[in-house]
Every structure is written in C-alpha cells, then in structure tokens.
Amino acid sequence: MSVAGSPLPVAIEPERDPHLVAAVEEAGGIVVPLDRARVLVWIGDPAEFPDLADTVEWVALKTAGIEGFRAAGVIDGNRIWTNASGFYAAGCAEHALALLLAGLRQIDTSVVLGWNDDVIPPAVRTLRGATVTIIGAGGIGRELTPRLSACGAWVVAVNRSGTPVEGAVRTATPDQLDEVLAETDHVVLAAPATAETRHLIDDRTLALLKPHSWVVNVARGALIDQAALGRALRDGVIAGAALDVTDPEPPASDDPLWECPNLIVTPHIANPAPGLTREMAPWLAENIRRFTAGEKLISVVDPAAEY
C-alpha cells in the first residue's frame, strides 16, 4: 500500500530484479514500465542508459562511484539522482580491514611460500597501536573506524568538509594531507574518483609514508599512480599495498602490477555482485518511503559536483 494516495510508480530496468521488486512493493510502490514511471531504478551499465521523459522525477543508480554515468553524459539537472554509496559502506569497510590485516599478517606471503618462518615472522605487524589514515572518510570511513578501533588502531580521517568522524582521533581536510601522511602508519583510500583525487597516491605522497606502511584501496583505481606504486614497492619505500580496485580493471595479463612484490590484488569484490541487489533492497525501500513522504533522500548526487 502507498503511504499517501496512489502507489508510487517505479520502473526497475534493464531487468526486474526480484529483491528490488519486493523492496518497492514493501515500501508502498508499484513496479511499472519506464514510460509510466515517476522513479527509475537503474541497475544496468551507463552505455545502455535510456532517454528519460521529464515525468521521471528521480533516478536511483546502483553504483557507489558514478563517474561512468557522468562520462556517458546521462546525469542531468532535470530530476533527482541518487547513487548507492550508503549500502556499500559496510562491505567496503570489511574488505578494507581484511586487506590491511592480510598485509600486516603476511597472509599473502604465507599462501605463496608455505611454512617459511625464516622469511615471515620478522615483518609481521599489528594494528594495535598503529595509526591508520582513511582518505575520503564518508560512509566507508564511518563503518571502518569502529572496526579499526576494536583492533586497537588509532584512526585519522580525511574528508573534504572536515566533518568529524565519530571514533577518529582526528579528522583533517585535504590541505593537511601531507602532514597527516607523514605521521601515519597505514593508509586506506575510500575517496570518490574525481579530478582532485586522481593519482593522489604518487611518488611524492608515497615518499611521505614509512618503510612499514601498507596502502589499501577499496575506492577507485585512478586514485593511485600505479607506476609510482610499483616503484615504491620494488624500492621498499613502503611495505606493501592491497588493492580491490585497479586502473584499468581488470589489469592486462602483462600489466607490470602483477610483477610487484608485496602486492595483494582482489578483483573488485568488496561488494560481491551476487548479493548486491539483496543488500541494496532495504536501502531502496527506505528511499522510496522517503520520496513518497516528501523527505530528503539518502545519497543524493550533486549534478554540479564530481561525485
């Protein structure tokens, strides 16, 4: 049933995913073809995005980073756009913790070398007492901070607004980044891909880190200058890097990335595709409830901003 008046007509395209259909109906909406919809839930690629009539008031995208939709020129100022950064946050935070711990605990080395305690023990490190800087601390940062804190780490958050992240010992702004990096043990990248964040990790910023530092990326590959990362890993400028995202994706089989020592790569699985629409469903239901009630939506995209 609709919260007020007739049920909200929602299109789910390019296919009617059953988890999302259930979410729409639970929230008092009705699933309809696109030409009768006031809302479009788009779970397809940017290249296939349809032309929209002005009667579509809100488009809900399923991705957290929407640079692909921006590049395709589909995001306009004629309606509300939401991305899905909210419901990705917990999964990305868990994956970031898994990658950082795998690096510190040398699980990758153990998998490759077997029982080799001559090589492995000296470099095993701990999160206890370590400082971990989260760059781009929004939703993922809010989820990751309590996980890191429970492991005894000190969290420093960096975000554009300087909005304090609960549990972080410090929240800094991007202009303080150099000073923050010089004092951190490890770095987790959780920022959107914009012109400003492109190659944020490069030769210069890597040189600010420590020989025992790990760099973890669960955001977008373009945040790291991969050639610079390769140099830093080969020269021992940092201890290692763990990436769930690369530039490009997937890396070619002859990408120099595969030759880097102390590099862990997972294939963009922080939020696995099979569980995606199931996890997205409660989040969509909440936004449909809010839209119907005339409330502010979660994760509204600013068409003028880059994320």
| Residues labelled as active-site residues | 220, 249, 268
The torsion angles phi and psi of 210, rounded to 5 degrees, stand at -110, 160
- Using CB under 8 A as the binding rule, whether residue 101 contacts a copy of itself is answered as yes
With contacts defined by CB under 8 A, how many residues of the chain interact with a copy of itself? 48
Question: Could you give the dihedral angle defined by the CA atoms of residues 136, 138, 139 and 145, in that order, rounded to the nearest 10 degrees?
Answer: 80
Contact 167, 197 (CB under 8 A): no
Residue choice 36, 55, 76, 152 for contact with a copy of itself (CB under 8 A): 152
Rounded CA separation 197/160 (Å) = 11
Rounded CA separation 91/84 (Å) = 12
Buried/exposed code over 4-43 (b: 16+ C-beta within 10 A; e: otherwise)? eeebbbbbbbeeebebbbbbbbebbbebbebeebbbbbbb
In whole angstroms, how close is the CB of 151 to a copy of itself at the nearest point? 6
Q: Name residues contacting a copy of itself, limited to 240-279 (CB under 8 A).
A: 246, 249-251, 258, 264-269, 272-274
Beta-carbon count within 10 A of 227 CB = 13
Contact 228, 209 (CB under 8 A): no
- Using CB under 8 A as the binding rule, whether residue 282 contacts a copy of itself is answered as no
Which one of 7-15, 64-72, 126-134, 292-300 is the stretch in contact with a copy of itself (CB under 8 A)? 126-134
Q: Which among 224, 281, 262 is positioned nearest to 103, based on CA atoms?
A: 262
The torsion angles phi and psi of 169, rounded to 5 degrees, stand at -75, -20
In whole angstroms, how close is the CB of 73 to a copy of itself at the nearest point? 27
Residue choice 15, 128, 211, 254 for contact with a copy of itself (CB under 8 A): 128
Rounded CA separation 82/288 (Å) = 11
- Using CB under 8 A as the binding rule, whether residue 36 contacts a copy of itself is answered as no
Residue choice 1, 4, 112, 195 for contact with a copy of itself (CB under 8 A): 112
The amino acid present at 155, given as its one-letter code, is: V
- Using CB under 8 A as the binding rule, whether residue 124 contacts a copy of itself is answered as yes
Residue choice 46, 65, 91, 192 for contact with a copy of itself (CB under 8 A): 91
Closer residue to a copy of itself (CB): 220 or 268: 268
Closer residue to a copy of itself (CB): 44 or 303: 44
- Between helices 85-104 and 139-150, what is the axis angle to 10°? 40
- Using CB under 8 A as the binding rule, whether residue 190 contacts a copy of itself is answered as no
Which one of 46-54, 102-110, 173-181, 287-295 is the stretch in contact with a copy of itself (CB under 8 A)? 102-110
Closer residue to a copy of itself (CB): 67 or 108: 108
Closer residue to a copy of itself (CB): 128 or 296: 128
- Using CB under 8 A as the binding rule, whether residue 115 contacts a copy of itself is answered as yes
- Using CB under 8 A as the binding rule, whether residue 95 contacts a copy of itself is answered as yes
Rounded CA separation 52/78 (Å) = 10
* Binding site residues, a copy of itself, CB under 8 A: 90-91, 94-95, 97-99, 101-102, 104-108, 110-112, 114-117, 120-122, 124, 126-128, 146-147, 149-152, 246, 249-251, 258, 264-269, 272-274
